[in-house]
Amino acid sequence: MTPLTIGIALLALMNFTLKALGPLLLGPERMSERTAATIDAMGQGLLASLVVAALVGAAGSDVDAALLAAVALAMVLRWWGLHELACVLIAVALVAIIRSLT
Amino acid sequence: MWMVLTRDTRRGLAVGAGLAAAAFALAVTFGALAVAGGLPPLAAVIMSAVTFSGSAQFAFVTALTGSGGVAAGLGTATLMNLRFLPMATACAPALRGGRVRRALEAQLVVDGSWAAAQDDQGRVQRSVLIPATVVQWPSWIVGTAIGAYAAPDTALSSSLGLDVVFPAFFAVLVLDIVRRRPELRTVVVASGVLTLLLLWVVPVGAALLAGCLPGIRTYLKSS
């Protein structure tokens, strides 16, 4: 067993444990309304955090203007009622066009 | 066959197919980067098969090849993936069976599927979550294999604009949430702002995890 093999195995185990822990502890039991509402709110906050992290990245990394513009366009299109997948595809096209021009 | 599937399952498959295309391009990039960084191609493919987490895998390989070693790689990847703890816990009521089966089903929680599976009330729909992941997983493995063995230009997905798929998809879902559930607007905005500020001073994984904190306000408010 090389250190790399052990590292990959531990990475998989860590990933498995993080995903399994909550369902393993909770099982089929229902959460209280209050706990469920809190976990729901934490999840929605996490979703917003994912957007910010994907757009801004780590400290010191450059913010990609093409990504920002495309995500903004996707949100405007969604606001107008376009299907979510169509919004994403148009965002992809916009980024590809911007990058081909710059 | 398509007509036999439930509406939610068809939605999960459709969303999963869109995400799978982006995941495929990302996986090709990962495979190429991992091999360029010194990982054997087979190790990269196995990692994708057993971990199936882009952020953790990129973090692991970056730390590993950046002379940080296996321990640093594991630490970084763990920090990146801590978000799966609240995400999978939020899914727990929607999963089926006893504790072990639920723990196994929770392995299908990945960012895109989890986000797509949220209904208007913030509950996770198992019928969307599972098909959305089942479509993405093979594309992640095949993409890694192509990247690892064929080693194409890692800038390909960027030039095609595929790196916008996940942020755009998440942003659209966030917009839907704040429109349909005004009571969550404060939490969503606070989480976004907190993450934005923290990204300047802490690693991405920690900033992401901190994004959960404003949600605790819900618990405190209802006390």
**What DSSP string describes B33-51?**
HHHHTT--HHHHHHHHHHH
Decide if B22 contacts B165 (C-beta within 8 A): yes
Closest CB to B188 among A15, A28, A44? A44
Q: Please tell me which residue, A31 or B115, carries the higher pLDDT value.
A: B115
Instruction: Please indicate, yes or no, if residue A59 is contained in any of the structural domains.
Output: no
Residues of chain A found within 8 Å of residue B115, distances taken between Cβ atoms? 47, 50
Mean pLDDT of chain B: 85
Apex B18 CA angle, B143 and A43, nearest 5:
100
In sequence order, what are the beta bridge partners of B118? B124
Instruction: Please indicate, yes or no, if residue A101 is contained in any of the structural domains.
Output: yes
Is B195–A52 a contact, with Cβ atoms under 8 angstroms apart?
yes
Q: Give me the pLDDT at residue A20, please.
A: 95
Nearest Cα neighbor of A54 from A9, A91, A90 is: A91
| DSSP 8-state code for residue B5 | S
A93 is in which domain, residue-wise? 64-102
Is A71–B167 a contact, with Cβ atoms under 8 angstroms apart?
yes
Q: What is the pLDDT of residues B2-28, one digit of tens each?
A: 566 788 788 888 888 888 887 888 888
Q: How far apart are CA A5 and CA A30, in angstroms?
A: 39
Sign of the Cα torsion A68, A78, B157, A54 reads positive
| DSSP 8-state code for residue B107 | G
Nearest Cα neighbor of B56 from B112, B110, B106 is: B110
| Token pair of B1 as six digits | 């066959």
Nearest Cα neighbor of B111 from B165, B170, B64 is: B170
Assembly ipTM: 0.83
Instruction: Please indicate, yes or no, if residue A83 is contained in any of the structural domains.
Output: yes
Q: What single letter denotes the amino acid at residue B123?
A: R
Q: How far apart are CA A43 and CA A63, in angstroms?
A: 25
Touching check for A21 and chain B: CB below 8 Å? yes
Contacting residues for A80 by C-beta, under 8 A, at least 6 apart: none
- How many distinct structural domains can be found in chain A? 1
Is A7–B213 a contact, with Cβ atoms under 8 angstroms apart?
no
Q: Give me the pLDDT at residue B119, please.
A: 83
Rounded percentage of chain B residues whose pLDDT exceeds 70 = 94
Closest CB to A19 among B84, B158, B212? B84
In Å, the largest CA–CA distance within chain B is 57
Q: How confident is the model at residue B166 (pLDDT cuts 50, 70, 90)?
A: confident
Instruction: Please indicate, yes or no, if residue A45 is contained in any of the structural domains.
Output: no
Does A63 have pLDDT greater than 90?
no
Residues of chain A found within 8 Å of residue B188, distances taken between Cβ atoms? 44-45, 47-48
Q: Give me the pLDDT at residue B86, please.
A: 85
